[in-house]
Structure 1
Amino acid sequence: MLIDGLQCGDFRRDIFEQLRDGGFTCVTNTLEFWGGAIDSLDAIGKWLDLERANSDIMTIVRSVADIKQADANGKVGILMGFQNSGMFQGRIRFPELFAQLGVRVVQLTYNIQNDVGGSCYEPSDSGLTRFGREIIGEMNTYGMMVDCSHVGERTTLDAIEVSQKPVAVTHANAASLKPHPRNKSDKVLQALAANGGVMGLAIYRNITPEAACDTVDGWAEMMARTVDIAGIDHVGVGTDAGHYVGTPELDWMRQGLWTRSEQYGAGSKVVATMPPPPSWLSDISKMGLLHDALTRRGFSAEEVHKLTAGNWLRVYESNFG
């Protein structure tokens, strides 16, 4: 099994085929970055259309039982998620409604502060708001996993403290291995582990050590060093792979509707365009090479399963059954 905590972009038939060929059991999609409730409902509707058009190869999953059934049927399970909480629009009843529609993962903030908390790119992270605390309570109640990938350090630590369920960082790396505002400090990783959560490690060049981009064995080494920080039960895969992401899509991710100014997200003025994938990952199907690389690194079969699927399954079970 191979479970990916987050991918984004335009999922077309060929992407589903690559995911199948790479042995992916379940992938969390990105329904929206900036949209409100109506945009988010439209995004869910489009994915229902995608499911109908590709029902022989993929299926939307809403539970661990669904994920295991998709695996048994040879299909890629798609777990529906958002990279922002804007669809709640300040309404405390909306988490329950979106949960009923099958949404299972919600990142608290994207690249700017919102009414829930602070982003990793804000010069000052104000922490989790009163509304944010209420929202996490609703998410815990109705089966939505809290994601803190783009969330600021203080807000992330607040969320971990407040949540009654394990919290996830679905797509990031350890800041001690690759310093970057998007990556997570050892303090966050250790708090995440104490909460029972998982961090999915990313392949995105801007936040990934060079050696981990050069070879799959280098990526497995990054995973091993992250295990040294957080523990074997708290690390997984969260590639942040972007499908058919060109300049217009990248500009939308970075700017949304909130600014006229240039924004670089995890990039910079020097590296402003979409970086190429890791050298060993010509397409997402090559992620299946990871199992052997982890074995070569010295992980047992049980540990490889935890890192590639088992840890996510445990956290999913705790959050939404």
Structure 2
Amino acid sequence: MTEKQFDGYEAYDYLVADEDYRTVELPEMHAGFEPHEVELTAEQEQRVEEVNEETIISLHEHPFYFPKDVHEDLWDYIREGRIHAAYEDLSKAPLDAVFDFHLDGLSGIHSKHGWKWDDIVSDVAMRAADQAHSDYAIRCGDVDDIHRANEEGKLAFVPALESAAMVENELDRIDLLYGMGIRLMGVTYNASNSIGTGQGDIYERDGGLTSFGVDAVHRMNDVGMAVSTSHSSPQTTLDVCEVSEKPVFDTHALAQTGGMNQRGSSDEALQALADTGGVIGVLSSTHLPDIETYMEHFEYMVDLVGIDHVVFGPDVLYGDHTALLEVLATFHGVELPDSTMENPYVKGLENPTEAWQNIPRWLVKEDYSDDDIRKVLGGNILRALDEVW
């Protein structure tokens, strides 16, 4: 692959740690698990090197560290407002671009309830300040930035958010978020908002997209911001696909009919997304214990909607994902299902580095064609972004 030009800059190196801001202990990349590499022959290893020269994009990640001790340090880390991107560890993967979803609803400098305008602005702007000091990071604003990252051995961070809750009833906030760098935004994150009904917020009926939501989708189309329906209700997803004039994304999804039941999206919703010309990122989930079962689900999605509409959005992070879920479940007063806690990691997809070292290897091992590999590793995303951005 293109030699990654990591410059040695670590997050917030322009400040003095524990003097300008408080620190917490962050985890090592392989903490808590043994690395797993998809095994290849010598000939396949050579082909992987060639494949990794292509433009490789993750449609959904949180490419930063959570504290080593999530139970003890999470809230202090969040309130300090400086989330540490994993620049060096990310440079060990063949990624050229990553959709960075920030802290989303965990943004809690000003409010513990998340999704407040001031918190989102703080999270997005602080990340931008840090990236501006790294020669390795490119704050992605257009498709050319992704191509440049591939050519120069750098990493393009695409600023993204999982919900539009902070827009409230202010349509112009979409323009402001775009001006701050946001290039993709979800409609809802489980809970409903002024734009639509959330996946986890259906009582007796699914209200779908609101009339204000229709205007919001059109404004996102007009300003050049991609729309995602991840975590939206089934009817909201269908409504967005109907009213959007541009391809629609689901950045991280699983299919109900692929064994995910209520944890996944319906065939109707997934097909509606594909019909817009959009793309669906396959989500990593501890319900899928290893990369083999993850890729089986990828193949199921390809059979369902076609290879032109499927990519990868693992949605993994650096740190103890299961401990994070435990803390969040306690905070929200909910009980996690046993199946969620069954596997602490998805073997081979433990964090963004592990995932993106192994996904191209698996595709080569299974003898996918060069054209199909190019599509699912980034080409499908670039094609849709060319229309949206």
TM-score scaled by structure 2? 0.73
Q: CA deviation at 1:88?
A: 1.0
8 Å CA contact 2:349–2:358 kept in 1: the answer is: no
Q: CA deviation at 1:243?
A: 2.9
Q: Equivalences for 1:109-258 in 2 at 5 Å?
A: 109-123=188-202, 124-206=205-287, 210=288, 213-214=289-290, 216-244=291-319, 250=325
Q: Equivalences for 1:13-92 in 2 at 5 Å?
A: 15-31=86-102, 32-33=104-105, 34-53=114-133, 55-92=134-171
In the alignment, the residues of structure 1 paired with residue 64 and residue 359 of structure 2 have an alpha-carbon distance, to the nearest angstrom, of 24
8 Å CA contact 2:63–2:86 kept in 1: the answer is: no
Partner residue, 1:3: 57
- Give the AA of the match of 1:58: A
8 Å CA contact 1:9–1:245 kept in 2: the answer is: no
| SS of corresponding position for 1:181 | helix
8 Å CA contact 1:128–1:155 kept in 2: the answer is: yes
Greater gyration radius: 2
Query: Does 2:344 align with 1:276?
Result: yes
Q: CA deviation at 1:62?
A: 1.0
8 Å CA contact 1:236–1:307 kept in 2: the answer is: yes
Structure 1 range deviating more: 292-301 or 125-134: 292-301
CA change 1:13–1:115 in 2 (3 A) is closer
Q: CA deviation at 1:77?
A: 0.9
In the alignment, the residues of structure 1 paired with residue 349 and residue 326 of structure 2 have an alpha-carbon distance, to the nearest angstrom, of 24
Q: CA deviation at 1:181?
A: 3.2
In the alignment, the residues of structure 1 paired with residue 63 and residue 333 of structure 2 have an alpha-carbon distance, to the nearest angstrom, of 21
Partner residue, 1:285: 353
Partner residue, 2:178: 99
Task: Give the one of 290, 296, 311 matched to 2:365.
Answer: 296
Q: CA deviation at 1:246?
A: 6.0
Q: CA deviation at 1:221?
A: 2.7
Q: CA deviation at 1:152?
A: 0.7
8 Å CA contact 1:25–1:75 kept in 2: the answer is: yes
Q: CA deviation at 1:58?
A: 1.7
Unmatched runs of 5 consecutive residues or more in structure 1? none
- Give the AA of the match of 2:344: P
In the alignment, the residues of structure 2 paired with residue 178 and residue 240 of structure 1 have an alpha-carbon distance, to the nearest angstrom, of 19
| SS of corresponding position for 1:291 | helix
8 Å CA contact 1:227–1:235 kept in 2: the answer is: yes
CA change 1:253–1:310 in 2 (3 A) is farther
| SS of corresponding position for 2:62 | strand
Unmatched runs of 5 consecutive residues or more in structure 2? 1-54, 66-82, 106-113
Structure 1 range deviating more: 164-173 or 67-76: 67-76
8 Å CA contact 1:217–1:297 kept in 2: the answer is: no
8 Å CA contact 1:203–1:277 kept in 2: the answer is: no
Q: CA deviation at 1:197?
A: 0.5
Q: CA deviation at 1:17?
A: 2.2
